[in-house]
Amino acid sequence: MRKHFGTLVTVTLMLLFSGVARADIQDVLPELEAYAIQVMEEEKVPGMAYAIVEKDQIIYANGFGLREMGKPARVRPHTVFEIGSTSKAFTVALLAMLDDERKLSWEDKVQQHWRGFAMYDPWVAKELTIADLVSQRSGMPAYSLDLMSFIGFNGSQIARAVRYVEPVTSFRSTFGYVNNLFLVAGKVIESKTGLSWRDNLDVSIFGPLGMTGSTADPEIVATWKDVARGYMVTSDGSLWPIPDNWIYAGWVDTYGPAGGIRSNVLDMANWIRLQLGRGSFEGRRMISRNNVAYMHQPKVFAYGDIFGGLACYGSGWMYNVLSPHVLVWHNGSTMGMHSVVALVPDADVGLVVLTNSNGNQVPERIMTKFYELYFNTTTAKSFRGQVMGAGPGKVLIDRKKPPALLRAPLAHLPYDRYCGVYSHPAYGRMTVKVVHGALFAILGPNHIKASLIPYSGHTFQMALPDFPDGESLATFIVQPDKNAEGVVMEAFSDSNGGRYSRVND
């Protein structure tokens, strides 16, 4: 088994300090709990649960607040949450198991195992390895293609659309967080095992770890009662409950290998025990020690200062150089939930925090506070706001809303000049038509009916239905005395500059 550990590991180890006294865990728990409740209330998070593992024991597990506002539904340790991008480490673990079984190698080219794989640059596609799939160094823009799932494309279609994403940095040079390559990783896993990614989780991880309250199957989740409802933080600070049967809900399952697991803190504590046990759980070897180390170790520089220390991305994990010990962690968000899983392997301690609103930093604040209390240090700085894997809505939420016009919108052409069918290489066909005197864009396989509101000249404000703050700009390309020949959609600018071309008159 060949591994490239790189010089980062050596440098990191040289930076570590040892011999710093730890606090007794029982002394830490009351202060941490009080702090957790405080920050949960400060950030108006409806519900939260967290658990702590030390020396292969679940030391603490508790729930706070409500799994659904307005109902007497308290969060308990068994309450199930969406864990978002902390799911990525599970996908990487499945790859590690295949490496242990010699069914693939981290250094294998992706095209050896999934013949349909292609990228914008054919050379990069040829050279991209299994390790590159899960190490966030592809050169693609962050969160590229995420909105494909939002409008109804499936995982296979998104994985194949990677070829339409033009890189913004050179290959392996820069950290760029994407979800789409984890779908390719899922395809590789399926090709080598003959089982779906979900079935692989059940057979190889959830079953052996006794994670009976964990699944990536939405039909199973629908049968459970103790499940938290997610809440989206809107621009005015209010909490918007994610509706049942929400038209965008399917994205979390489409992006399963990147963020589709649901779990509770007790199950996740067993996952932490496996990581801290260097791949061994209750006497059973599940992953080799070398591969657990490999997953955690840095592959690309990410941030110069996060929690007060250098941060790199490993393989489905962040790697933070702190004193006295390295912190290995990952956070995750869905449209209505936010989480973090954190390990300090050298101290044999870790924790998981799950919350049922997005846009908060409660998990990171609790993680940072725990590190400070446990290691009697104040070197860890507050979280800087890097929230990874926040789901496709992040593409819209992170954009500033189009500024309000100070005057009436500039005159636009008659709506029929904009109507027609347009095509984008990744995001497919879009139909622009008039319905009851208003202009709409019909998007994707799910036929999402987005309103187009006059903004300025040929520019319209696109607003997604049933999605708070889901606005972006759409600008039609119009030649004199002709119908629009194309439209540039700001929300889809990660591929082809967001440009759709007309395919009919």
Residue type at 226 in one-letter notation = D
Side chain identity, residue 425: P
What distance in Å separates the CA atoms of residue 40 and residue 26, rounded to the nearest whole number? 22
Q: Which two tokens mark 18? A: 């040892």
CA triple 465-466-470, angle to 5 deg: 70
Domains and CATH numbers, the chain: 6-17+24-105+196-397 (3.40.710.10), 415-502 (2.40.128.600)
Calpha distance 182→184 (Å, rounded): 5
CA torsion through residues 318, 322, 327, 331, sign: negative
Distances (CA, A) of 65 to 46, 69, 238, 434: 6, 9, 17, 46
Q: Which of 303, 490, 275 is nearest to 400 (CA)?
A: 490
Nearest to 309 by CA among 4, 51, 6, 17: 17
Q: Whole-angstrom Cα distance, residue 36 to residue 20?
A: 25
Reduce the DSSP state of residue 145 to 3 states and report it. coil
- Contacts of 278-287 with CB under 8 Å at 24 or more apart are 278/345, 281/208, 281/209, 284/208, 286/97, 286/204, 286/205, 286/208, 287/93, 287/96, 287/97, 287/100
pLDDT in tens, the chain (505 residues): 344 434 344 334 333 334 456 889 999 999 999 999 999 999 999 999 999 999 999 999 999 999 999 999 999 999 999 999 999 999 999 999 999 999 999 999 999 999 889 999 999 999 999 999 999 999 999 999 999 999 999 999 999 999 999 999 999 999 999 999 999 999 999 999 999 999 999 999 999 999 999 999 999 999 999 999 999 999 888 999 999 999 999 999 999 999 999 999 999 999 999 999 999 999 999 999 999 999 999 999 998 888 778 899 999 999 999 999 999 999 999 999 999 999 999 999 999 999 999 999 999 999 999 999 999 987 555 554 555 555 565 656 555 566 665 555 566 899 999 999 999 999 999 999 999 999 999 999 999 999 999 998 999 999 999 999 889 999 999 999 999 999 999 999 999 999 999 997 5
Cβ partners under 8 Å of residue 341, min gap 6:
83, 86, 89, 268, 271, 272, 329, 330, 331, 350, 351, 352
**CB-CB contact of 446 with 466 (8 Å):** no
